[in-house]
A and B are shown apart, each in its own frame.
Chain A
């Protein structure tokens, strides 16, 4: 036991001491802060309104309606003072000629006389056919186009209604959208989470697991490979059993991973709980700051996540360890680790069917498959109530998978660490596993 601890301690301390570890640990929170603050910060910045010309060749009130709707459009909330558009309403009968001359000036960067960013063309045919034209420099931006189309849609609808002698205001009120307030109930109690919050959580957890398995799993692999190529392993093999060596490596790297993730989680927690004041320091208006809400994590979900995190790590780290022991060079591992990496990717892909139908047959089956359960089970648990029996069975299956992998990997490891040269074929590896 003391020998095992020595291996774990060495792995942990030597890793934590490296410059790579210190750098990545520091950069993690910076990255979190950037993903958290940058969008909010940028959306809080002034964006220049788009200059739009309404080229109005239509009869009736369509031009006026478009004009007033575009002028009323604002960035962010409706109370915000920043207009989206600077509108110029141009009535003409010679639509085509004016349009041509306007188009020529779009996107010219002479700031003295402001040039339009785009032209909306309104004609009587457009009203009938429902096809409007917009010529602009920003047609590639889906957000811009969605907003513009929304405004135009409302204007056309109102114009059509009024031509049919209906009061647009009555129709608007009657068709105003409803809002569905969602609250999650688990085991007869309100959790206080909204639907979006649990989705967000599930999403983040799946990502964290995915990256952690890949990053730390590969670290286990290259660490074993390094021990093998530097031939340190032979001295160790005289004192420790292959299982002890492998376990020490996996636990050591795993502890480093958990340590790093804990630091990151603490940083993320601090940043999110102090979002308002920090944004205040960055001179972002408070209404933007309060609009960013952070979901809370329940203790039981955290426990389920951690349990499967550890199980998943042992499962995949064991496989990566076997790959590392099989290979004699870094190039070898790049090919040989593919099947393991594919397993992790498959686990990640499970997210989509499960999000679609968390209680579906496929989701239930995936919960029981050891290689994907570390992804599937916490995900299902976070979005739908999971019967305790199913949860325990999933844990049991995954744990059995871990034991199976450990047995398999230690048998490969035992022979692999002293085998140099050409990478063994699958048949040879099978023989390694089979021989006592």
Chain B
């Protein structure tokens, strides 16, 4: 049975539609990525899944229940995009409180909190006030708060934003571990590399509508090997010129030293290779590949602001 099912879900705010006729299915186990630009409707979708916001149309089914999602909060963990803790509370007290709101008993919550604090390197901070912690530490505390009741579904809204590389890695490891235990993690992000490395399944939404969803492997296969990965060793400027040629390359992600190219319809790899060699471009790598998630996203959603950002949502 799927963990989350959305069927034709729509949410409107004064003057604009945040989510429109969105249908999704998140199967149990694994990591599910909800991808989209800022303002695409990810947070609104998550809030509707959790029952914080009611959907205007459509049905949201969470863990088999479609009427009162909040009653299931003991089985769901949530890390909101806008982090926030009571600044004056002591770290341990705060975690115990968060555990209690999820129905965990106080002794149990205390035990779990201590274990997690120790594991994420915050053991010595349990008696300190939240405001004495650095931002990254506070983020970890809130992360612990979202999972200390051992939820079967963990929903993380932009979990890695604003984290230093080490904290980011610690959190990633934890998320992966939870998924390997057979639990489900749904996280939203606008950073494609992250999703590409972690997710089994993804959904891309733009302007509140679903653009694409499915398993990452299937999606990549569908896009086929119309993509070429390049690494330049010499004369990258000349390469840049050639990649402008729309009869060869339909779309280019030029990173300077490397590039990813979607071949134009009718063009093939050899033609591109010939042109590059003729222009005396040094090539460290020339490989026909599956497209990166970034390329898929851009192909589907458009590179630039395909639609202007809604000022009310900015």
Binding site for B on A (CB under 8 A): 2-3, 6-7, 10, 14, 18, 227, 230-241, 418, 428, 436
Contact = CB atoms under 8 A, between A and B. Distances in A.
B246 to A, nearest CB: 43
Contacts of B123: none
Interface in B54-79: 54, 70, 73, 76, 78-79
20 contacts: A6-B97, A6-B101, A7-B101, A230-B85, A231-B82, A231-B83, A232-B84, A232-B85, A232-B86, A233-B84, A234-B84, A235-B79, A235-B80, A235-B84, A238-B50, A238-B73, A239-B102, A240-B70, A418-B52, A418-B53
Contact of A235 (B87, B100, B103, B142): B142
Contacts of B100: 2-3, 6
B252 to A, nearest CB: 39
B145 interface: yes
Indicate the size class of the contact surface on chain B: 20 to 34
A238 B70 contact: yes
Interface of B: 14, 47, 50-54, 70, 73, 76, 78-80, 82-89, 97-98, 100-103, 142, 145-146
Contact of A231 (B73, B84, B145): B84
A232 B85 CA distance: 5
Contacts of A6: 97, 100-101
Contacts of A10: 89, 97
A418 B14 CA distance: 14
A227 B54 CA distance: 21
A237 B98 CA distance: 12
A236 B73 CA distance: 10
B117 to A, nearest CB: 18
A117 to B, nearest CB: 57
Contacts of B80: 231, 234-235, 238
A42 B102 CA distance: 59
Chain B CB within 10 A, most for which of A18, A235, A418: A235
A412 to B, nearest CB: 15
Given A231-B84, A232-B84, A234-B52, A241 B70 contact: yes
A19 to B, nearest CB: 11
A13 to B, nearest CB: 8
A237 B101 contact: no
B102 A14 contact: no
B101 A236 contact: yes
A4 to B, nearest CB: 10
A7 B103 CA distance: 12
A401 to B, nearest CB: 28
B39 to A, nearest CB: 14
Contacts of A428: 14
Interface-centre pick from B14, B54, B100, B146 (highest chain A CB count, 10 A): B100
A230 B89 CA distance: 13
Nearest to A417: B52
A18 B82 CA distance: 26
B78 A238 contact: yes
A237 B89 contact: no
Given A238-B50, A238-B80, A436-B54, 10 more contacts: A2-B100, A2-B103, A3-B100, A10-B89, A233-B84, A235-B78, A235-B98, A238-B52, A239-B70, A240-B70
A238 B100 CA distance: 13
A14 B129 CA distance: 12
Given A239-B73, A240-B70, A418-B52, A234 B101 contact: no
Nearest to B77: A238
